Amino acid sequence: MQELTITRHNELIDPLLHIWSWQIPVYLFLGGLVAGIMIISGWFVLQGRYKHTTFSTFYLPHISLVLLSLGMGALFLDLEHKLYFWRLFTTFQWTAPMSWGSWLLLTIYPALWVNTLIRIPERFQGKIPLFDRLSAELNKRPTLIKNIGIANMLLGTLLGMYTGVLLSSFAARPLWNSAMLWMLFLVSGLSAAAAFVHLITTDVYERVLLAKADNAFLTLELFVFGGFLTGLLTSSRVHVEAVRLLLDGPYAPVFWVFVIGLGIVVPLIVQLLAVNHKVKHTPVAPILVLAGGLTLRFVIVYAGQFSHWT
Amino acid sequence: MARFGMVIDTVRCVGCMDCVVACKTENQVPEGFNRDWIAYDVKGTFPTLHMESRSERCNHCDNPPCVSCCPTSASHVHDVGGVVLVDYDKCIGCKGCVASCPYGARFIHPDGYADKCTFCIHRVEQGLQPACVAVCPTHCMHFGDLDDPNSDVSRLLASRNHHTLLPEAGTKPRIFYLT
Amino acid sequence: MSELNRRKFLKISAATVTVASGAAAFAKSPAAQTAPAKRAAKGVQRIPTYCDICFWKCGAIASVRDGVLWKVEGNPADPLSRGRLCPRGTGGVGAHFDPDRLKRPLIRRSDRGREVWAEVSWDEAFAYIANKMHAIKATYGPESVAMFAHGIGGNFLKHTLKAYGATNFAAPSFAQCRGPRDVGFKLTFGEDVGSPERTDIKNAQCLVLIGSHLGENMHNTQVQEFAEAVGHGATIIVADPRFSVAASKAKYYLPIKPGTDLALVLAWMNVIVAEGLYDKEYVAKYGFGFEQFAASIATYTPEWAYPETGIEPDIIRATAREMAKHKPATLVHPGRHAAWYGDDSQRSRAVALLNALLGSWGRKGGFYAPVSMSVPGYPYPAYPTSTKPKVDNPDGRYPFAHEAITTGIREATITGEPYPVKGWFVYATNLIHALPNEAETIKAIQNLDLLVVVDVIPSEIAGWADVVLPESVYLERYDDLNVEWFREPFVALRQPVVDAPDEQKPNWWMAKKLAETLGLAHYYPWKDIEEYLGHRLAGAGLSFDELKQKGIIPGAPQPIFFDEGAPAEFATPSGKIEFYSLQLQTAGFDPVPVYTRPAEPPPGAFRLISGRSPVHTFSRTQSNRVLSDMMDENEVWINADMARRMDLRSGDYVRLKNQDAVVSNRVRVKATERIRPDCVFMVHGFGHTSRGLKHAYQKGASDAHLITRYATDPLMGGTGMNVNFVTIEPEAAHG
């Protein structure tokens, strides 16, 4: 038997790492959600949905701007040396996902903003003449609009991936040390975004489409989860110990009940029944999906810190 | 260029924590935090036991994940001896480096920046030994240039069995433990 | 000289800032520490002194940066520290900055022990003490004021009390600690082991440690030499119920049953004699009564010792042969804290005899003959003479006690026999933790008319005092010269590095002021301590200025081993090493040690044993923030298997309850493979109950509190303290 006694007792580090609390999971969730929304609204731009409705190209990017800012706010709250925040933008560190992320977020704001200009709803027209003029100019260039759609989809994808890569780059935390994590967070972001739009859109076409899409995303997410878990389970001892935190360790109840059960399986069944007209569309499924997505980030962030090498 | 490292003789080490106290006073490490610490590693069943006492700290890795993950270059490899340092004025306190270290060697200083062992570079640059090495009553700690085959540390590594901590983490630590 | 001038300037400028900086150091921000120092002297001053965190007295160099104490390091010129302090010495800065320090003189304003005080001026405090002392002298005589002191800092107060007419002075370091060992060795070799121990550990090729946990017990030179011995491949043999750090370095670890060490030593001697492995020439030349000795131990075979000690006969033989193989460079360490079971001086005598068989006394790798410099004392007027006996050992009840017995003074204070003791001075020793059976100490205190405690922190004994006098810590004061007995002669100086933060004063100042208040000013012909020190050093032909600059002045080397020319003399009645002791026989004791089986713990109970941590000294350092940051709470070590059976895990809180139903403060469990299942272990000095020790208050448990039973050594009055049994009571996990 082994008995390891360590005299170190550093705050936030010992006995097990607990440097990140609610701010980071909230940031990752909102980041993933916005990523999903950008992909969806970008797709709708490509599909020319702005000609029929202003929801997906005007309101959604605006909501994204708010959500993203809330996420960034949570991130800012987590920083311990807040007044040095600007240091992120004095350098680019190509080996540091966080540096990529900082600059990526800087490009996402204008992308979202340009998206809002494609079609300004009538009630807002004339409020800011400059925006109206820019909108008019845009509408003279359909190719540019397509490119805005593509840019939103692309940046959304990068953002969604980034939320996972950020964690998986920490080799010291075995639970995060999986190449599947970015896929997991991207798919989870997409499914959360689909649920979110499903929940708040007034457009019946979009709601039905997104309910169907969400079913696809949730199914995909289950497969990605399978890959994530088996990947770790077939890796080294520390990785097996790490993934067992979720499978049968201290985080297992939350993981199985709230993330897998109520977060994926139950809403998937409910929505399958709904799109096949067996039951009525209700907000239950999308709310469960959103709650499951948030819980997933909490579980992964907390259990990941718990996982360790020694 | 020098590549500084440490060689610690666990046969002599008694785990008295003098290195920890010396670091604390030399570097004014705030109460409640340690830049270095002792591990007592016991294997076996009473009375057939083996115990290794080790003085541990930042390993100043050749492949430092804390440096590669830093978004602001606050964590960096110093020109002198390849020592891994933190520039407090560049650190935003994101704690990424804390999470990236498999040894738990970093902590957030109460003033908000990431902090850790500096190999007492301020002393080394004056020709002194790091405080922990200089104080050790058992003379179990050795500091020097790993790239210089004639250095104390290189000669010890050439002549004695040794190990590093978590070599499987791939960080290539530069603190070696003689057994 | 420029160094000195800078320092004087520093003293003046630092006075304005130390109060502010004191609390700030080791606060959360280093900026908070350096900010107030801006007005003070810039740069770093390095001032030599000697340490006082324990009583080893290592030479140190303190660094003051911008007027604020920064760090303390070893003085390379010092033979004790060899330039490297132990963790406690390195953490000495924390003593200066400790916010829980005593700050002003205090006079009790409620019942004893309730810690209700009025802050008074020094003059008021001295007037109060002098009045009481005059009254005691008038009614009972000056002998009725006794003093307990530990360390060199007590010298001046002792001088004042001797001038007053007091005769009863004792330190717990004798009857509670090294006394039995020193008596055992004195009976055998005619000289005791002393402190620093005269052990030549660094040259030992075989080192035997019996319960001695060097490395955890951090007496600097010994630990340094221990590491050196380990480093050069010496064979280490450790007998200890606990797998100590030293045990982890051992070729042979003997997990001995507690209390049976004498059986093991007797069996070792049996093997060495039976197999003819002893140093025959040495024994023939220096020994007395070897034949009778050999006959006495003939029955103590390894097979006999096996059921007693739990150590297999093969191992006993193998280790005995290993010892013999390396003789005379085999050192069977005499230990230091030896007051365990009440038969301790006989056990220590057995250890001395084993060393004698191996020929290690006076030999390289064994015991050297310590040497010293000749520095004359200050010429004082003669002290008043007394016709009364000392109270601690009436009628020589303990015939071989060659120092005063603390617990004897305590007993006399309770009984009033042979005469009443009405005043206690306590200097730098926390009697509540140092003496066994706290209730007896408190009972004695209740009989006093005056209890004066001089200390740097509000220790438990200070809590019981009538008057508390706050002493400046060693970094803030001069003390008497350390004219050390060691391998090489030297004299060392303690001098102030920084100013005391509040109204704390050095002991010499208190002693002189008290003498003046008592009308004994003529016993202090010197103006201040610098004059005193200068006078003493001049008498030895040494320069005070040089000592201030260097901290240490070495003397000429002298031979310390027999073969180098150290005299092979033995101050015993026979003038030889006494294998057989006629003086013991005459006094009615066993002339050769005889083993008695210790009482076993009742079922379900554990024997309580205690020891040291490398980062604390007794109960004196738990409020030192640097050291408490290393360890702020002790743990009770319980064998992992036993802990499992009791459903206890490391970190759980429990309380220990002893055979007299005394219950400890809550203490965390350390469930570990590193201890036998029949005993539990705690580091001594924790579980403080003094409210003034805000930081250390009720952290961990006090072993002393549970030591209600003690076994008195009939030879010398030592108090064996490992005779208490405890059960473990789980404590609901909280906070």
Nearest to C703 by CA among C729, C676, C651, C665: C665
What pLDDT, on the 0 to 100 scale, is given for residue C707? 98
Judge: A81–B91 Cβ closer than 8 Å, yes or no: yes
Hey, is the C-beta of A85 within 8 angstroms of any chain B C-beta?
yes
pLDDT tier at C16 (50, 70, 90 boundaries)? Answer: very low
Please say whether the beta carbons of C418 and C394 come within 8 A. yes
Structure-token pair, residue B101: 């270290």
What pLDDT, on the 0 to 100 scale, is given for residue A122? 86
For residue A278, give every residue at least 6 positions away whose Cβ sits within 8 Å of its Cβ, in sequence order, or none: none
Q: What are the tens digits of pLDDT across the range C227-251?
A: 999 999 999 999 999 999 999 999 9
List of chain A residues whose C-beta atoms are within 8 Å of the C-beta of residue B41: 2-4
Beta-bridge partner residues of B40: A5, B53
Judge: A4–B170 Cβ closer than 8 Å, yes or no: no
Judge: B137–C615 Cβ closer than 8 Å, yes or no: no
Residue C366 has pLDDT above 90, yes or no: yes
Pair (C580, C688) in one structural domain: no
Q: How many CB atoms lie within 10 A of CB A4?
A: 11
Pair (C700, C577) in one structural domain: no
What pLDDT, on the 0 to 100 scale, is given for residue A99? 94
Residue C544 has pLDDT above 90, yes or no: yes
Instruction: Out of B41, B90, B169, name the one closest to residue A87 (CB).
Output: B90
Range of the domain at B79: 4-178
Instruction: Name the domain boundary from C558, C586, C614.
Output: C586
Pair (C572, C677) in one structural domain: no
With a pLDDT cut of 90, the percent of chain B lying above it is 99
Judge: A3–C630 Cβ closer than 8 Å, yes or no: no
Residue C103 is assigned to a structural domain of this protein: no
Judge: B139–C231 Cβ closer than 8 Å, yes or no: yes
What pLDDT, on the 0 to 100 scale, is given for residue A204? 85
pLDDT tier at C193 (50, 70, 90 boundaries)? Answer: very high
Judge: B111–C639 Cβ closer than 8 Å, yes or no: no
Helices assigned H by DSSP within C518-646: 529-539, 544-550, 582-586, 625-628, 640-645
Hey, is the C-beta of C630 within 8 angstroms of any chain A C-beta?
yes
> What average pLDDT does the segment C454-480 reach?
97
Element (H, E) at C646: none
Residue C1 has pLDDT above 90, yes or no: no
Instruction: Out of A5, A10, A78, name the one closest to residue B34 (CB).
Output: A10
Mean pLDDT of all residues belonging to chain A: 93
What pLDDT, on the 0 to 100 scale, is given for residue C41? 74
What pLDDT, on the 0 to 100 scale, is given for residue C40? 62
Q: Minimal Cα distance from C641: which residue of A?
A: A1
> What average pLDDT does the segment C21-32 reach?
39
Pair (C197, C269) in one structural domain: yes
Measured distance CA(C494)–CA(C502) in Å, rounded: 20
Judge: B102–A308 Cβ closer than 8 Å, yes or no: yes
Measured distance CA(C305)–CA(C299) in Å, rounded: 10
The CA distance from C102 to the nearest CA of chain B, in Å, is 21
Q: How many CB atoms lie within 10 A of CB C600?
A: 13
List of chain B residues whose C-beta atoms are within 8 Å of the C-beta of residue C678: none
Please say whether the beta carbons of C271 and C277 come within 8 A. yes
The CA distance from A10 to the nearest CA of chain B, in Å, is 5
Pair (C213, C319) in one structural domain: yes
DSSP string, C651-674: T-EEEEEETT--BPPPEEEEEETT
Q: Minimal Cα distance from C93: which residue of B?
A: B25
Q: Minimal Cα distance from A4: which residue of C?
A: C672
pLDDT tier at C33 (50, 70, 90 boundaries)? Answer: very low
Structure-token pair, residue C714: 């009939």
Instruction: Out of A1, A3, A7, name the one closest to residue C630 (CB).
Output: A7
What is the crossing angle of helices A23-46 and A284-306, to 10°? 130
Q: What are the tens digits of pLDDT across the range B32-86?
A: 999 999 999 999 999 999 999 999 999 999 999 999 999 999 999 999 999 999 9
Pair (C578, C677) in one structural domain: no
What pLDDT, on the 0 to 100 scale, is given for residue C452? 98
Helices assigned H by DSSP within C298-392: 302-309, 313-326, 344-358
The CA distance from C253 to the nearest CA of chain B, in Å, is 8
Burial category of C298 from C-beta neighbours within 10 Å (exposed 0-12, middle 13-18, buried 19 and up): exposed
Number of domains in chain B: 1
Sole residue written with tokens 């040089």? C546
Please say whether the beta carbons of C74 and C61 come within 8 A. yes
Secondary structure (3-state) at C719 = strand
**Whether the complex's predicted ipTM surpasses the cut of 0.90:** yes
> What average pLDDT does the segment C576-594 reach?
97
The CA distance from C100 to the nearest CA of chain A, in Å, is 23
Please say whether the beta carbons of C146 and C425 come within 8 A. yes
What pLDDT, on the 0 to 100 scale, is given for residue A76? 95
Burial category of A2 from C-beta neighbours within 10 Å (exposed 0-12, middle 13-18, buried 19 and up): exposed
Query: How many distinct helices (H) and strands (E) make up chain B?
Result: 6, 10
The CA distance from A244 to the nearest CA of chain B, in Å, is 19
Judge: B92–A84 Cβ closer than 8 Å, yes or no: yes
pLDDT tier at A206 (50, 70, 90 boundaries)? Answer: confident
Q: What are the tens digits of pLDDT across the range A157-198?
A: 999 999 999 999 999 999 999 999 999 999 999 999 999 998
Instruction: Out of B42, B72, B100, name the one closest to residue A172 (CB).
Output: B100
Instruction: Provide the CATH number for the domain around residue C647.
Output: 2.40.40.20
A 94-153: CB under 8 A from B = 95-99, 101-102
DSSP string, C343-366: -HHHHHHHHHHHHHHHT-BTSTTS
List of chain A residues whose C-beta atoms are within 8 Å of the C-beta of residue C631: 7
Instruction: Quote the DSSP letter at residue C257.
Output: P
Secondary structure (3-state) at C182 = helix
For residue B126, give every residue at least 6 positions away whose Cβ sits within 8 Å of its Cβ, in sequence order, or none: none
Strands B175-178 and A2-6: what pairing? unpaired
> What average pLDDT does the segment C446-470 reach?
97
Instruction: Provide the CATH number for the domain around residue B77.
Output: 3.30.70.20
For CA atoms B111, B113, B119, B124, give the dihedral sign.
Answer: negative
Residue C550 is assigned to a structural domain of this protein: no
The CA distance from A26 to the nearest CA of chain C, in Å, is 30
Q: Which of C90, C257, C642 to mutate to test the interface with B (most CBs of B within 10 A)?
A: C90
Residue C260 is assigned to a structural domain of this protein: yes
Residue C278 is assigned to a structural domain of this protein: yes
DSSP string, C611-640: E--TT--TTTSTT-HHHHTT-SS-EEEEEH
Residue C574 has pLDDT above 70, yes or no: yes
Beta-bridge partner residues of B37: B56
Pair (C200, C319) in one structural domain: yes
> What average pLDDT does the segment C411-420 reach?
97
pLDDT tier at A207 (50, 70, 90 boundaries)? Answer: confident
What pLDDT, on the 0 to 100 scale, is given for residue A54? 83
What pLDDT, on the 0 to 100 scale, is given for residue A51? 85
The CA distance from B123 to the nearest CA of chain C, in Å, is 14
Instruction: Please name the amino acid found at residue C591.
Output: P
Chains that touch C (3 or more CB pairs under 8 A): A, B
Measured distance CA(C415)–CA(C391) in Å, rounded: 11
Q: Minimal Cα distance from A91: which residue of B?
A: B72
Strands B48-57 and B36-45: what pairing? antiparallel
Q: Which of C220, C223, C248, C251 to mutate to test the interface with B (most CBs of B within 10 A)?
A: C248
Instruction: Provide the CATH number for the domain around residue C250.
Output: 3.40.228.10
Secondary structure (3-state) at C567 = coil
Instruction: Out of A8, A84, A102, name the one closest to residue B90 (CB).
Output: A84
Nearest to C386 by CA among C140, C695, C107: C140
Instruction: Name the domain boundary from C586, C618, C642.
Output: C586
Q: Minimal Cα distance from C630: which residue of A?
A: A7
Residue C4 has pLDDT above 70, yes or no: no
Mean pLDDT of all residues belonging to chain C: 93
What pLDDT, on the 0 to 100 scale, is given for residue A124? 87
Measured distance CA(C176)–CA(C158) in Å, rounded: 20
Pair (C578, C614) in one structural domain: no
Structure-token pair, residue C407: 């617990």
Structure-token pair, residue C3: 């160094």
Phi-psi region of C67 (alpha: psi -120 to 50; beta: other; left: phi over 0): left
List of chain B residues whose C-beta atoms are within 8 Å of the C-beta of residue A84: 72, 89-93, 112-113
Q: Minimal Cα distance from A8: which residue of B?
A: B37
Measured distance CA(A271)–CA(C609) in Å, rounded: 68
Q: Which of A5, A10, A81 to mutate to test the interface with C (most CBs of C within 10 A)?
A: A5
What pLDDT, on the 0 to 100 scale, is given for residue C162? 98
Number of domains in chain C: 2
With a pLDDT cut of 90, the percent of chain A lying above it is 82
What pLDDT, on the 0 to 100 scale, is given for residue A281? 80
What pLDDT, on the 0 to 100 scale, is given for residue A56? 80
Q: What are the tens digits of pLDDT across the range A11-31?
A: 999 999 999 999 999 999 999
Domains in chain A, CATH or no CATH each: 23-306 (1.20.1630.10)
Burial category of C103 from C-beta neighbours within 10 Å (exposed 0-12, middle 13-18, buried 19 and up): middle
The distance of Cα B70 from the centroid of its chain, to the nearest Å, equals 19
Chains that touch B (3 or more CB pairs under 8 A): A, C
Judge: A3–C673 Cβ closer than 8 Å, yes or no: yes
Judge: B21–C87 Cβ closer than 8 Å, yes or no: yes
Judge: A3–C672 Cβ closer than 8 Å, yes or no: yes
Range of the domain at C306: 178-370+567-586
Least confident of A232-236, C19-23, C327-331, C431-435: C19-23
What pLDDT, on the 0 to 100 scale, is given for residue A1? 78
Q: How many CB atoms lie within 10 A of CB C530?
A: 13
What pLDDT, on the 0 to 100 scale, is given for residue A57? 81
The distance of Cα A136 from the centroid of its chain, to the nearest Å, equals 32
> What average pLDDT does the segment C6-31 reach?
38
List of chain C residues whose C-beta atoms are within 8 Å of the C-beta of residue B18: 84-87, 90, 614
Q: Minimal Cα distance from B89: which residue of A?
A: A84
Structure-token pair, residue C319: 């280790």
Instruction: Please name the amino acid found at residue C179.
Output: G
What pLDDT, on the 0 to 100 scale, is given for residue C42? 85
Q: How many CB atoms lie within 10 A of CB C304?
A: 17
A 2-31: CB under 8 A from C = 3, 7
Pair (C211, C314) in one structural domain: yes
Q: What are the tens digits of pLDDT across the range C383-392?
A: 999 999 999 9
DSSP string, B84-145: EEE-TTT-----HHHHH-TT---EE-TTSSEE---TTHHHHTTTPPPHHHHH-TT--EEEEE
